[in-house]
Structure 1
Amino acid sequence: MTAAASVHPDPSSDLWPAPYARGAVDATVTVPGSKSVTNRGLVLAALASEPGWLRRPLRSRDTLLMAEALRTIGVKIEEGVGPDGTGEAWRIIPAPLRGPATVDVGNAGTVMRFLPPVAALTDGPVRFDGDPRSHERPLHGVIDALRALGARIEDDGRGALPMTVNGTGSLDGGTVEIDASSSSQFVSALLLSAPRFNQGVEVRHVGAKLPSLPHIRMTVDMLRSVGAQVDEPEHGGAPNVWRVAPSALRGRDLVVEPDLSNAQPFLAAALVTGGRVTVPDWPERTTQPGDALREIFTEMGGSCELTEAGLTFTGTGRIHGIDVDLGEVGELTPGIAAVAALADSPSTLRGVAHLRLHETDRLAALTKEINELGGDVTETEDGLHIRPRPLHGGVFHTYHDHRMATAGAIIGLAVEGVEIEDVATTAKTLPDFPMMWTEMLGV
């Protein structure tokens, strides 16, 4: 049956009453395109030697910031329909990259990290700034690497924003060592622009274990799809070493996959309510970290089936705790923590110390917010230990973090009286989340 929500929330309110499900969810939810694929696709198309198309791109704060940033340095991006006259598509027309320019990164990790290497290829200064939280997020991996490769960057020694990249029209490239243990985006940032460097690049990661390896695999796959030559550890290369040869990149007609990480709250709804949710167009093969949800949520008590219609996930009405290393899929941690707080046994989430440096300190935020609803969560050195307890209503703060907002909504399905502070922050990667959530519930 279709779940009935106990309230009809107003997404414009400062406090959004999270809908409480009084029955099992039964819905089909079409998830917008992947932010990670959209923003990588935009960068590669901007650096190509010919125009390209990006079909079904995600339109969210992060992707619109990326598109506007590329426009400020000379790239032409036309928004409309595809070449066959159907579906939303962006046409990207490369042009000589120019400065001076000012780039607003918001709080988008992909924009603040992927674009400084591109800015080094412009013919003038490009200043980067963003939201207050962006000044606290680490950029030293990209800044130090670009300096080692020949770029001139002014950051007053902060290793963070604001900063200015003084482009000279080209970058020598070569071999560079970086510590990317705080963000795999440091590696992806260098690889994406490397075909345009005079010598390409050889990136050597030194330091603790790399997080979020699927995102680096995504970068490599997308580079290869536009004609780049990439050697990587998984294909016979040395461990933690990636090589990209200098080359011209082709323009592509790229269809963006649904954002599987953004499918998480909807799959969680099936698990929490003992219902069923289908996500159309779930790919059979993908480098997206969100694909791990099939295995993780199945272990927590559900089942899934991948057919031509998409992925259908079914809950049983029982949720089991889990002991799992999320190092490669850290962005899934908030949603998994929310489900684990409703389980019938304890959970340990490991390998995600780097989440302390995301949109907010996600480990501290999850601990505080779940505990203030009556939970029992403790931080560990590299994750969370969650002992389920009966929860009660209250305000769930988001810290301007989209995944905190969706985590609160998941808890609200099973706990009456949860109010999400600043649910509008979900627009960062999932526009219209409040409407999608209430429609899923049949409101």
Structure 2
Amino acid sequence: MTGTETSPDDALALWPAPLAHEAVDATVTVPGSKSVTNRGLVLAALAAEPGWLRRPLRSRDTLLMAEALRALGVGIEETIGSNSAGGPGAPTGSGEAWRVIPAGLHGPATVDVGNAGTVMRFLPPVAALADGPVRFDGDPRSYERPLHGVIDALRALGARIDDDGRGALPLTVHGNGSIDGGPVRIDASASSQFVSALLLSGARFNQGVEVRHVGSALPSMPHIRMTVDMLRSAGAAVDTPEAGGEPDVWRVAPSALLGRDLVVEPDLSNAAPFLAAALITGGRVTIPDWPEHTTQPGDALRDIFTEMGGSCEFTTTADGTALTFTGTGRIRGIDADLHEVGELTPVIAAVAALADSESVLRGISHLRLHETDRLAALAKEFNDLGGDVAETEDGLRIRPRPLHGGIFHTYEDHRLATAAAVLGLTVSGIQVENVATTAKTLPDFPGLWTGMLSATPGAAPVSRG
């Protein structure tokens, strides 16, 4: 197993979701962003000089990314503490830091993607720059997730890939040390990661890259904006539709990338269940270091949960800014297009199931292609607990009903597990199958959760407000 991968025993275990016996009032320190950490690792690996990632997320997905880059020849050194053992140029401040030392990318190598979309999609373009074959494999579910956009685009740009015509894993990228690059047309309507994958490596292609999306509306646009912002911070020249370019066209000019000293933001999407706890219990939760300006999709929670009945404010502390979210105990239904922030859907759906009126969540048909078919899974699991949730063509219709206890299956999907925990705040007897799957992006979620509820005295990441 890699890092925090789920063991068979963990997968069979049932976790009793704790009830909230009073309004929560806690400060919860959320670990770093998976999306920022994995993009930062790729850009640092392709840079012309060493760089640092401070406060990186250590989870299954990020450890898989780090191990994959090491297999390709990249040096990644981990340090813990206040500028300890870092040597000259080490970042200051306490906490964990990863030093990334670029090297000549090479094969033969084998990459285990697990079920991480960022690894399976971001690294084939990197492997095309390597000298030698790189084989990609992963969990059984990874074989079912779409990868054709990246595979077809890389072939059009000059790469050789063997996938036996599947358009999916497993596959082998036969790198020869460089890739031509240039213009390419792709349908990225299944995943915005297809676009990000090509942009992240594009500066290292001989002609750069021009990615033209030709399908229906792109999902998760904030993640593409995150990719563009991080590329520009690393010294790349990027043209985008937002900057006056053509609609659905992104261009990255060929150039060297800079090594950076990057501080990873907290993962705002992983803050969703904790903010939901404040909304549901009529309590208050503070998330330290919530950035006032960010490209993370999770920032939309401020508006969405406010519309559902809470309120939020930024506060200034000695250590920086924090977001405090307060609930009234009343939850309103919502009609929301979540196309750009689909990853927030499971927790929002859980809150909606406890609301006082119907909710419609739209624009999220692409969630059928995530870690599991999230729409089908949410409908089935909520309904098995007495709910009334119907799939629509592009989302869910949720009519609140009294819920009862039972087993909530998670389908090895971390966001299904956190949604179940949210329901368990007010529904007695919910048992969460394989809560350990949350380690994909949120290490020790059970400890954070029970600490917030004061069920674990002295839980280090959580303090009572």
Interval of TM-score (by shorter of Structure 1 and Structure 2): over 0.9
The residue aligned with 1:113 is 121
Normalising by structure 1, we get a TM-score of 0.97
Offset at residue 383 of structure 1 (A): 0.2
Offset at residue 161 of structure 1 (A): 0.2
Query: Equivalent residue of 2:229, what SS?
Result: helix
Q: Does 1:399 align with 2:411?
A: yes
1:85–1:326 distance in 2 versus 1, CA, 3 Å = closer
Aligned-partner Cα distance in 1 for 2:237–2:380: 46
**Partner letter of residue 199 of structure 2?**
L
The residue aligned with 1:340 is 352
Offset at residue 11 of structure 1 (A): 8.0
The residue aligned with 1:32 is 31
The residue aligned with 1:243 is 251
Query: Equivalent residue of 1:145, what SS?
Result: helix
CA deviation vs aligned residue, 1:402-441 (integer Å, no higher than 9, x gap): 0000000000001000000000000000000000000000
Question: How large is the Cα RMSD of the aligned pairs?
Answer: 1.1
Query: Equivalent residue of 1:356, what SS?
Result: helix
Q: Does the Cα contact within 8 Å between 1:11 and 1:434 map onto a contact in 2?
A: no
Equivalent positions of 1:311-322 (< 5 A) are 311-322=323-334
Offset at residue 86 of structure 1 (A): 2.8
The residue aligned with 1:136 is 144
The residue aligned with 1:384 is 396
Q: Does 1:280 align with 2:288?
A: yes
The residue aligned with 1:152 is 160
CA deviation vs aligned residue, 1:329-376 (integer Å, no higher than 9, x gap): 000000000000000000000000000000000000000000000000
Residue correspondences, number: 434
1:102–1:29 distance in 2 versus 1, CA, 3 Å = same
**Partner letter of residue 338 of structure 1?**
A
Equivalent positions of 1:172-321 (< 5 A) are 172-309=180-317, 310-321=322-333
The residue aligned with 2:365 is 353
Q: 1:414 aligns with which of 419, 426, 429?
A: 426
CA deviation vs aligned residue, 1:186-213 (integer Å, no higher than 9, x gap): 0000000000000000000001100000
Equivalent positions of 1:39-58 (< 5 A) are 39-58=38-57
The residue aligned with 1:127 is 135
Query: Equivalent residue of 1:234, what SS?
Result: helix
**Partner letter of residue 267 of structure 1?**
L
1:229–1:280 distance in 2 versus 1, CA, 3 Å = same
Q: Does the Cα contact within 8 Å between 1:57 and 1:256 map onto a contact in 2?
A: yes
Structure 1 segments, 4+ long, off by >4 Å, are: 10-13
Q: Does 1:167 align with 2:175?
A: yes
Aligned-partner Cα distance in 2 for 1:13–1:181: 35
Q: Does the Cα contact within 8 Å between 2:271 and 2:287 map onto a contact in 1?
A: yes
Offset at residue 67 of structure 1 (A): 0.1
**Partner letter of residue 57 of structure 2?**
L
Query: Equivalent residue of 1:27, what SS?
Result: strand
Unaligned runs of 5+ in 2: 1-8, 84-89, 456-465
Query: Equivalent residue of 1:167, what SS?
Result: strand
Q: Does the Cα contact within 8 Å between 1:32 and 1:58 map onto a contact in 2?
A: yes
Q: Does the Cα contact within 8 Å between 1:151 and 1:171 map onto a contact in 2?
A: yes
Q: Does the Cα contact within 8 Å between 1:321 and 1:347 map onto a contact in 2?
A: yes
Offset at residue 226 of structure 1 (A): 0.6
Q: Does the Cα contact within 8 Å between 2:421 and 2:432 map onto a contact in 1?
A: yes
**Partner letter of residue 197 of structure 2?**
A
Offset at residue 13 of structure 1 (A): 7.1
**Partner letter of residue 90 of structure 1?**
W
Query: Equivalent residue of 1:204, what SS?
Result: strand
Query: Equivalent residue of 1:24, what SS?
Result: coil
Aligned-partner Cα distance in 2 for 1:286–1:44: 19
Q: 2:97 aligns with which of 89, 95, 108?
A: 89
Aligned-partner Cα distance in 1 for 2:424–2:241: 42
1:332–1:416 distance in 2 versus 1, CA, 3 Å = same
Q: Does 1:324 align with 2:336?
A: yes
Query: Equivalent residue of 1:124, what SS?
Result: strand
Aligned-partner Cα distance in 2 for 1:11–1:153: 36
Aligned-partner Cα distance in 2 for 1:357–1:181: 11
The residue aligned with 1:14 is 13
The residue aligned with 1:429 is 441
Segment of structure 1 superposing worse, 82-91 or 419-428: 82-91
Aligned-partner Cα distance in 2 for 1:87–1:438: 23
CA deviation vs aligned residue, 1:66-113 (integer Å, no higher than 9, x gap): 000000000000000442363210000000000000000000000000
Offset at residue 12 of structure 1 (A): 8.9
Q: Does the Cα contact within 8 Å between 2:52 and 2:100 map onto a contact in 1?
A: yes
Q: Does the Cα contact within 8 Å between 2:11 and 2:433 map onto a contact in 1?
A: no
Normalising by structure 2, we get a TM-score of 0.92
